[in-house]
Structure 1
Amino acid sequence: MLIDSLRVLKIKVARKFYISYFIIIMNKDFCIKNKKFQSRLILGTGRYRSLLEAKQSIEASGCDIVTVAIRRINADNIGFIKSLIKLINWQKYWLLPNTAGCQTAEEAIRVANLGQEIAKQLGQVDNNFVKLEVIPANKYLFPDPIGTLKAAEHLVKQGFVVLPYINSDPILAKQLEDIGCSAVMPLASAIGSGQGLKNIDNIRIIVEASKVPVIVDAGIGVPSEATQVMEIGADAVLINTAVAQCKVPVAMANAMRLAVAAGYEAHSAGRIPIKNYARTSSPNFDRIGQI
C-alpha cells in the first residue's frame, strides 16, 4: 500500500512538473523588434480556393501574424483580397504586408510604403512591419540578394521593421542583420514547390549565427518539415501554399499549428546525444534470474 501510494504521488508530481514546464515553454513569447506574439506560425493569404477556406484556415492555424501580398493586388483578385481583409479581425491578427511581385529594390520600397498605409487604415497605427521580397525572375522566383540588401538598408533608415526573404545564405543573413533588419527569412526550397528542406544545413548555420529571429519561409510541404526546422532552432515558420493548395486547408492549418508547437517544445527540451552504438533503455542489473 505504501509503495502504491508513493508511486501515485510520484506520478502526480511528475505531471505537475510537466504541466508547469509546458506552460512556461508555450508561454515564451516570440518577439520581433519589441512586438510580442504567442504563435510561431505565420500564415499567408494567397491561392486559397475560397474566402471561407482562407478565413477558416487562418483561425485553425492559431497564428497571430497574417501576410498579404500588396503588389499582387490586381484587377483579377482585388475583390477577393478586399473581401478577405474585411473578413479578418485586425484587432486579433497582425498584418505583415509583403512585397511579393516586386522585381527591383525601388519597386519594393514603394510597395512597402503602400503596405504601411494599408496597415494604418486597418487601425494598426504602429505597424511598420514589411516582409521584403525582391524577385527579378518569374521562372525560378529566387530572391535578388543585392536588390534585397539595397531595399532593406533604405527601409530600415525609414523606420520599417524589415523581414527580408532570402536564399539560405548565412553571409547575406548576417549582413542584413548588421544593417538593422529585425529578422531574416531564409527559404527552405523554391517558393510554392513543396520540395521540403533542401537547404537545412545552411538554415542551421543561419540559426546558429543570428541574433535576430530566423523565420523559415517557402518550400515546406508537410507538418513534419515545419517541426524539423523548429527542432534545429528556427524561431518561426511562414506557410502559405502547403495549406492553401492541399485537399483540406483547414485541417492542414491545424496540423501546421501542432507541428510548429511540437518542434519548438522539442528544441526547448533538448534532444539526446547521437551515439554510434546501441544502448539499452532499461537497466542491466537485478534482472529476473540474476536475483
Structure 2
Amino acid sequence: MVFTCTGSDPLIIGGHVFISRLFTGTGKYPSIKSMQNSLERSACEMVTVAVRRVQTMATSHAGLMETIDWSRIWMLPNTAGCTDAEEAIRVARLGRELAKLAGQEDNTFVKLEVIPDNSYLLPDPIGTLQAAETLVQEGFTVLPYINADPLLARRLEDVGCAAVMPLGSPIGSGQGLNNAANIGLLIEEVSVPVIVDAGIGVPSEAAQALEMGADAVLVNSAIAMAGDPPAMAEAMKKAVIAGRMAHRAGRLPSRLQASASSPTTGLIR
C-alpha cells in the first residue's frame, strides 16, 4: 500500500473533509498578490482570517475577502486580538457572518484565540475553556489555540471542540517545536485532530510535527515573511506530505547500539 497525503488519507474536522494537511494564514504578506500566489502553491484548503482586522480594513487585509476563491478554500475565522472570553465569543459570531458573506452558509468554524497579554502572546487557558463551552453550545465548530497542555486539550475535547491547536512555540517566533514532548503527550491524550499552530519556521519543523502524529499544521509567518513566500509555501506543502507519509509508514525504532544494515554471516574471508 502506498501512503500519501491525498484523497485516500483525508482529514475530517467537524464533518468537513480536507485533503491538504497544511493550513495557512492571510496576514503579514508583503502584498495581496504574494498571498494569492502562496495560497495557490501551498495547495491549502483552509485559511485563517482575522475577523477584527478585516472589519477595520487593517494593513494587508484591505480587499482580502475579494481576492480569495472561497469556493475552493474554507474560511477559518479567528478571534485574534481578543483578550477575554466574552470578547472572543462576540467576534466568533461576527466571523460566522463573515463566512456567510463569502458564500459559505454552512461554515460554523472558528479558531478560538483568547490572548490577554501582547508581550508574549500566549493563550489564556481559563478564558479559552469558558469561551469554548459557550461557542460549542451555540453550534460552532471550535478549534481552540492553546498551550501544549494535554489536560486542557482533553477538557476541551470533553466540552465538544472539533480539534485542538497547540502552539509549537510563541506566535511568529520561528523557534520550531520547543514543546515537542508535551505535544507528543497531547496527541496521545485526545481523539480529536491535533493541529500544531505557531512557531514553525522551516519545512523540516512542519514535517516533524506530522511525523510525531499531529494531524495538520497551520503556518503563517514562516511563509508570509520568507524571502520568497510562494516558494516557501510550496516547500511547506511538500514537507507536510512527507511528514504524514513517514508517520503512516512507521519509523525505524531508535536503538542505543549500532545495527548493521548488511548480513554478518557468509562473509568472504
Specify the SS of the correspondent of 1:243. helix
Counterpart-to-counterpart distance in 1, 2:156 and 2:120: 23
The answer for unaligned runs of 5 or more in structure 2 is: none
Q: Which residue of 2 aligns with 1:9?
A: none
User: Normalising by the residue count of structure 1, what TM-score does the alignment of the two structures yield?
Assistant: 0.89
Residues 59-78 of structure 1: pairs in structure 2 closer than 5 A: 59-73=40-54, 75=56, 77=58
**Which residue of structure 1 lines up, in the alignment, with residue 14 of structure 2?**
33
Please give the alpha-carbon distance, in whole angstroms, between the structure 1 residues aligned to 2:162 and 2:193. Answer: 7
Provide the C-alpha distance between the structure 1 equivalents of 2:30 and 2:142, rounded to a whole number of angstroms: 30
- What does 1:14-25 correspond to in 2, within 5 Å? 21-22=2-3
* Alignment deviations for residues 76-100 of structure 1 (CA, whole Å, 9 cap, x no partner): 626x424222111111000000001
Amino acid aligned to 2:95: G
Alignment partners' CA distance in 1, 2:53 and 2:143: 18
Q: Which amino acid aligns with 1:111?
A: V
Q: Is the 8 A contact 2:4 2:245 kept in 1?
A: no
Instruction: Report the counterpart of residue 195 of structure 2 in structure 1.
Output: 215
Tell me what 1:3 maps to.
none
1:1-291 → structure 2 map (5 Å cutoff): 21-22=2-3, 27-73=8-54, 75=56, 77=58, 80-287=60-267, 289-290=268-269
Whether the aligned pair in 2 keeps the contact of 1:26 and 1:265 (CA below 8 Å) is no
CA positional deviation for 1:26: 5.9
User: What stretches of structure 1 of length at least 5 have no aligned partner?
Assistant: 1-19
- Distance (whole Å) between structure 1 residues aligned to residue 3 and residue 11 of structure 2: 16
Partner Cα distance (1:273, 1:185) in 2: 28
Per-residue deviation, 1:114? 0.5
- Sequence identity of aligned pairs in percent? 57
Deviates more, 1:20-29 or 1:251-260: 20-29
Higher helix content, 1 or 2: 1
Mapped contact 2:5–2:244 kept (Cα < 8 A): no
State the 1:73 CA deviation.
Answer: 3.1
How far apart are residue 285 of structure 1 and its match?
2.3
Question: CA-atom RMSD, angstroms?
Answer: 1.4
User: Under a length normalisation based on structure 2, what TM-score does the superposition of the two structures give?
Assistant: 0.97
Is 160-169 or 69-78 further displaced after alignment? 69-78
Equivalent residue pairs, number: 269
- Deviation (angstroms), 1:273: 1.0
